[in-house]
Structure 1
Amino acid sequence: MVHVSSGDDSKEKGKHRMIIDATAGAIAGCIARVITGPLDVIKIRFQVQLEPIMGASAQAQAGLRSKYTGFRQALTTIVREEGVPGLWRGTVPGLLLTVPYTAVQFVALQQVRQAAAAYGLTGMYSNPGSSPLISLASGALAGAAATVASYPFDLLRTTLAAQGEPKVYRNMWDAARGIVSQRGPVGLYSGLGVTLIEIMPYAALQFGLYDALNALVDEARIRYQRDSSRVQAFACGLLAGLFAKLATHPLDVAKKRYQVAGLRRSLRYGARVDAGFAMRTLAQSLSYIYRTEGLMGLWKGSVPSIVKAAPSAAITFAAYDAVLAWLLVVSGEHIREQQQQQRQSPKQSSR
């Protein structure tokens, strides 16, 4: 006997699925955050360094001294001066950022796609990669919603990761109090507008590419009758994260400058980002970085950023798929979804 859900029952199941999506997203994000934390710290140090990233000979010719001159040099310098824990600076606010960000992101993603399916824009159970516009739009909206929900933790994470030694702020709460006392509560949202401009194309590309790559892999698996499902999510997430980050990196550099504008860290890390930087528009900021630091200034930290973004996206997607599948089995949702899929697509199920 098939149970026909009432309106209230459907709403309850919808809430239950949202909780499952949020839980899977939060767990996946935390796993990726802890594993890739050191790469994030190195990336931030490069992005907020005003001096050029160059070799020793070039420095001597230009009369400039750069704190960090390369990926390996930055890694060894941070460990030597701040110890191994220095590579995980900002991990607590980073995790507090990750939980609401990935939870809201994956919930919003599923809700947008379900809404698109309800309006007949795509099949709820078809591969989202078959609808590129829906993939891009749902990714962009999910990224925007997640950013608004978690932004203060992003700013605090960046501040703590950038400050170096001696510490400007002892911990996350000290940093929050200091920023609020200097710039008011709005200071916790410094750079939010730029972040939304950055995150929407980034998330759109990330999820759009992920869906498109999955569709291509699915087609290849059917054609060549090969089972690569175990590595598919990881590989597709890896490539999607790499290309999305590469395309939007200059916006991330500008965002980090907004977030640490006025931070009075030790001058041994180089010139500080002036508080007035936060008053510039995004176009002015990008133009200023280009004029004063050259084209490479817009790509500072791109190596650790890409090295981090690719595995982070891969781990997040793979962990999300694995945790979601487990939670659906535990809750029995997978059985209901299969039954509903058979009702929605009887021809496909009979093949």
Structure 2
Amino acid sequence: TSLHKKRLRVESPRSFSLSLSRFLFSSIPPQEALNPKGYSDLVSIWRGIWGAGMEEPGQLKRAFIDSLAGALAGGISRTVTSPLDVIKIRFQVQLEPTSSWALLQRDMYRPSKYTGILQASKDIFREEGLAGFWRGNVPALLMYMPYTAIQFTVLHKLKTFAAGSSRSEDHLQLSPYLSYVSGALAGCAATIGSYPFDLLRTILASQGEPKIYPNMRSAFFDIIQTRGIRGLYAGLTPTLVEIIPYAGLQFGSYDTFKRWMMAWNRYRNSKLGLYEEDNSASSFQLFLCGFAAGTCAKAVCHPLDVVKKRFQIEGLQRHPKYGARIENQTYKSMLHAFREIVAKEGFAGLYKGIFPSLVKSAPAGAVTFVAYEYISDWLESILT
């Protein structure tokens, strides 16, 4: 029997709709899912993937655990790391070079608002108070909680299909390539489902004082009035281009590091003469795996994140003290944005905010994975 979930309608620049129920649940048996030749279209193949393993007992409960644990883990991680995220966004949307040498080289006389993490922290605290470090956190939570819920649920479905089992132990036996692909696809599904909140978070976090938008509601209606529904999806293309390698690297490397930790535990126990069946990673080891995975993913994908942020704040009204404004249609495409940033700001422009981004992404990844593992285990224990 098909499980009917609430449909989530997503308006893209091309006004298409997406039903997560069609993605996550269907009644096609796994035997048919593994043989897609008889399907009439690509959607049917995808339905076969999501239906794989649904006939195993407890699959609905597993989906509930994944989504709830993912949402709570995402909310905790986002709130804890919000100050670093705000600082990172301020750097990324600042057109002026951050060093005085770059300023002289390009004959630019306007000084940069933010030049370093410590200086930015002091300025934000002095001008906006402690609350300034959590600016945009409400839309960030509204974005990140459904994002991580969708991401972990879809990830588990994909791994269940690939491994032929819903057991997490079997998922660890998947190749790094399959972990990468599963993470990338899960990231895409989560991004499409939560993107407008990501856009609102970026706008509210970047505006500074005095505020142009006093709250999320005013920002939402202003975007609708000035840019239409398309405005809520400004920067969606570079975001999807970014999330494929980012989510793939994050989940793929996390699984790899976790396997290495378990192998190390087996080796250490054998050396000590302790032949234990449970060689699972400790909470500290999981934290290290998430820390390393977040660092690897962000270091590789940061330039794409800078380009995404520039598209998201095109046309945003800000106080002049925060630097030059990015006008509408400044960038015609992703490639044009890369060229413009390099031409006007140097290659360093593609790495604006890299340090606070790494400082934020590493603990954010660690907190997300550790919180997910523990909340998932706790939910499983009370629901069985």
The two structures have a TM-score, normalised by structure 1, of: 0.87
CA distance in 2 between counterparts of 1:216 and 1:23 reads 28
Aligned to 1:248: 301
Which shifted more, 217-226 or 100-109?
A: 217-226
- CA displacement, residues 152-209 of structure 1 (integer Å, 9 cap, x when unaligned): 0000000000111111111001100000101001100111111000011000000000
CA RMSD of aligned residues (A): 2.1
Which secondary structure state, in structure 2, belongs to the residue aligned with residue 196 of structure 1? helix
2:136 aligned with 1:83: no
Question: Are the equivalent residues in 2 in contact too, given 1:129–1:211 (CA < 8 A)?
Answer: no
Question: How far did residue 148 of structure 1 move?
Answer: 0.4
Structure 1 position 103 matched with structure 2 position 149: yes
Q: Which residue of 1 aligns with 2:310?
A: 257
Matches within 5 A, 1:1-351: 10=55, 13-55=58-100, 59=103, 62=107, 63-118=109-164, 125-128=169-172, 130-225=174-269, 229-278=282-331, 280-332=332-384
One-letter amino acid matched to 1:42: I
Structure 1 stretches lacking a partner, 5+ long:
1-6, 333-351
Given that 2:74 and 2:368 are in contact with CA atoms closer than 8 Å, whether structure 1 keeps it comes out as: yes
Contact 1:68 1:74 in 2 (8 A): yes
SS at match of 2:95: coil
Rate the CA distance shift 1:124–1:36 in 2: closer, same or farther, 3 A.
closer
Alpha carbons 2:163, 2:174 under 8 Å: kept? no
In 1: Cα distance, 2:374 partner to 2:362 partner: 18
Change (3 A) 1:142 1:58: closer
Mapped to 2, the partners of 1:232 and 1:142 lie a distance apart of 24
AA aligned to 1:204 is G
Query: What is the distance in 1 between the residues matched to 2:158 and 2:139?
Result: 28
Query: Any idea what SS the aligned residue of 1:277 has?
Result: coil
The structure whose RCO (Cα within 8 Å, separation 6+) is larger is 1
Task: Confirm or deny: 8 A CA contact 1:108 1:142 kept in the other structure.
Answer: yes
Which has the larger share of helix?
1
Distance 1:129 1:179 in 2: 46
Q: Which residue type is aligned with residue 306 of structure 1?
A: L
Superposition deviation, residue 58 in structure 1: 6.3
CA contact (8 A) 2:179 2:248 kept: yes
Cα distance in 1, alignment partners of residues 135 and 360 from structure 2? 15
What count of residue pairs does the alignment treat as equivalent?
Answer: 322
How far apart are the structure 1 equivalents of 2:220 and 2:103?
36
1:197-249 Cα offsets, whole Å, 9 max, x none, are: 00110000000000001111111110011875121211000000001000000
In 2, are the aligned partners of 1:22 and 1:106 still within 8 Å (CA)? Answer: yes
**Partner letter of residue 97 of structure 2?**
P
Q: Which moved more, 1:161-170 or 1:218-227?
A: 218-227
Structure 2 distance, partners of 1:37, 1:140, is 24
